[in-house]
Structure 1
Amino acid sequence: MDIGIISMRYAKALLAYAREHKAERVVYKELKALSQSFETHPALKKTLDNPVLPAEVKLKLLCSAVSDTCDVSEQYKRFMQLVLKERRENFLQFMCMTYIGLYRKLRHIGVGKLITAVPVDDDTRERIKTAAAERLHARMELQTAVDPSIEGGFIFDINGYRLDASIATQLKKVKQQYIDKNRRIV
């Protein structure tokens, strides 16, 4: 069976179950935290794939990956028990990403990422978030990152589109134009 089909089925089932219990927002936050744990700790996936570990240990690990106190919602806990019972833990990261995508689509949430050379203050961050929300007619989740290699300006990714107004990119363009112009002269 295809990974996409499995993760989509489980994510849709979890979303329906969470909506039935009016806990889809809580589950969304928990799965975002779990997805972040998968990204920051690659050993988590390897540990979950270990067939020697019992399901109880894996469940505690999945709960602690979301919350330090293992204080998670009943819907999250029951879903993880189902995943572990059916031996689908190797698809769990894809299930998280699929659920997050479904929830964002359901709630009309746009996702943006702002990359700057220096940290951005909260006022600027909120203005960008508000302006993007008005353009998209959706609520916005804005992630910020600092990358000194862009030398100045910003790079703004939103729903698959990129606005690159960085100094590094502009310098590359000028350099390429200069090289192209000099090739024609020789």
Structure 2
Amino acid sequence: MMANRLVGLRSQLGRCFSTSNSLFQGTTTPKSPLPTASESTSTLVTPPIPVFGIDGRYASALFSAASKQNKLDQIDADFQKLGRLLTKNKNIADLFRNPGVTREQRMGLLNELDLSDMTRATLETLFDNRREKRLTKFVSVMNRLMSANRGELLCRVITAKPLDDKLRNELDSVLKQFSKKGEKLNVETTVDPSIMGGMIVEIGDRYIDMSIASKIKAYTEILTSNV
């Protein structure tokens, strides 16, 4: 069953990589997430991969500022920590995104994470601009950007149960076909029983949902729309 999913993944990834649609898109220009005014008026350092939308603008600005101040390693460590926290602790993620949580409470949570001043200032601006619901996506975009800066292709895979060694090797083999020459594959796997089966794959800026849960939802919507 899972082997069939991998065949399907290979086909779907091929179609995804032949299009230019991005997972993250938007049109609203956010207030600069940088702590200094001079940074916003200077020439930005081009990020290693294009990132789009509101999240991409924040990520590009932060990457540029950190690059100029030789703090990319700090920022990288910060967002890896944030990514792990938001993935493993959904209660914390909900607290950050909840509009009912006060600014002081959010900043208190940030202070407990021991993040660098630049990261904390960026997230503070994100919250001040009422973008708290975009936190998870912003962290994901930033981690993808930093992974590319390390010469890696970041892939996230969600399955209903853990993969055995054979399936994991097959999955890595499929994903590796879509990495560029010299690009190292960085695969993060997560188990989520609620998807019921199949898998969800995020590779670069592409998102592919082959879960049973999503298929049931789609079929249910088709059936109810015809009633």
Say yes or no: TM over 0.5: yes
More strand, by proportion:
1
CA deviation after TM superposition for structure 1 residue 92, in Å: 4.2
TM-superposition CA deviations, 1:106-159 (whole Å, max 9, x none)? 60524232423x4334x3464145313421115232323253884xx7335343
Pick the aligned partner of 1:154 from 181, 198, 201.
198
Q: How many residues are paired up? A: 151
Structure 1, gaps ≥5 residues long: 65-69, 174-186
**Pair 37,5 (structure 1): closer, same or farther in 2 beyond 3 Å:** farther
TM-score normalised by L of structure 1: 0.55
Residue 83 of structure 2 aligns to a residue in which SS?
helix
CA deviation after TM superposition for structure 1 residue 95, in Å: 5.1
Pick the aligned partner of 2:96 from 14, 32, 44.
44
Question: 2:162 aligned with 1:119, yes or no?
Answer: yes
Answer yes or no: is the 8 Å Cα contact 1:115–1:156 preserved in 2: yes
More helix, by proportion:
1
CA deviation after TM superposition for structure 1 residue 28, in Å: 2.7
Distance (whole Å) between structure 1 residues aligned to residue 198 and residue 64 of structure 2? 39
Answer yes or no: is the 8 Å Cα contact 2:201–2:209 preserved in 1: yes
Answer yes or no: is the 8 Å Cα contact 2:95–2:101 preserved in 1: no
CA-based RMSD = 4.0
Pick the aligned partner of 1:62 from 110, 116, 129.
110
Answer yes or no: is the 8 Å Cα contact 1:115–1:145 preserved in 2: yes
Pair member with larger Rg: 1
Question: 2:113 aligned with 1:30, yes or no?
Answer: no
Distance (whole Å) between structure 2 residues aligned to residue 128 and residue 50 of structure 1? 46
TM-score normalised by L of structure 2: 0.48
1:130 aligns with 172
Identity %: 11
Answer yes or no: is the 8 Å Cα contact 1:129–1:140 preserved in 2: no
Distance (whole Å) between structure 2 residues aligned to residue 34 and residue 93 of structure 1? 16
Question: 2:101 aligned with 1:79, yes or no?
Answer: no
Distance (whole Å) between structure 1 residues aligned to residue 192 and residue 88 of structure 2? 20
Structure 2, gaps ≥5 residues long: 1-25, 31-53, 220-227
TM-superposition CA deviations, 1:56-111 (whole Å, max 9, x none)? x64331143xxxxx4x342xx33323553786263245255235325425605242
Distance (whole Å) between structure 2 residues aligned to residue 160 and residue 30 of structure 1? 22
